[in-house]
């Protein structure tokens, strides 16, 4: 059945939802960022999965090999990973600053402090 062949897509969907849930439901800012990373990682998985050609090998020219996997998604994902890292780094930097200013990284405590 097709289902087993699609296992990577299932993983993608599950990781996506785990990450999304963490982003929305967790109060701690670091946990939100972790969720975001998982969310993005799921997308990376999607792209790489779609690049794999059945029976294909790594897309580096070699003698005697005729079938390669699609290099383009891998390259795209490298870019996206870099973007993801930058985002996470920036996010963590902001969290550090928030801790400095507010003394907490729990969302509700921060809101409480601002209300006063």
Interface residues with another protein (CB under 8 A)? Answer: 16, 20, 23, 29, 32, 36, 39-40, 43, 46-47, 50, 72-73, 76, 79-80, 83, 86-87, 90-91, 94-95, 97-98, 101-102, 107, 110-111, 114
Distance in Å, CB of 54 to another protein, minimum = 15
For the beta carbon of residue 15, count every other beta carbon within 10 angstroms: 19
Distance in Å, CB of 69 to another protein, minimum = 14
Comparing CB distances to another protein, the nearer of 11 and 98 is 98
Comparing CB distances to another protein, the nearer of 64 and 115 is 115
Task: Report d(CA 89, CA 112) in Å as an integer.
Answer: 26
Task: Report d(CA 12, CA 41) in Å as an integer.
Answer: 8
Contacts of 49 (CB under 8 A, 6+ apart): 8, 9, 12
Distance in Å, CB of 86 to another protein, minimum = 6
């Amino acid at each position: 059945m097709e289902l087993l062949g699609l296992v990577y897509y299932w993983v993608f969907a599950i990781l996506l939802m785990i990450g999304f849930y963490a982003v929305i439901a967790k109060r701690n800012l670091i946990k939100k960022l972790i969720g975001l990373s998982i969310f993005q990682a799921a997308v990376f998985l999607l792209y790489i999965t779609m690049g794999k050609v059945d029976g294909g090998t790594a897309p580096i020219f070699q003698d005697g090999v005729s079938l390669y996997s699609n290099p383009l998604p891998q390259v795209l994902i490298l870019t996206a990973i870099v973007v993801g890292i930058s985002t996470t780094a920036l996010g963590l930097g902001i969290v550090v600053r928030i801790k400095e200013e507010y003394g907490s990284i729990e969302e509700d405590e921060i809101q409480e402090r601002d209300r006063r």
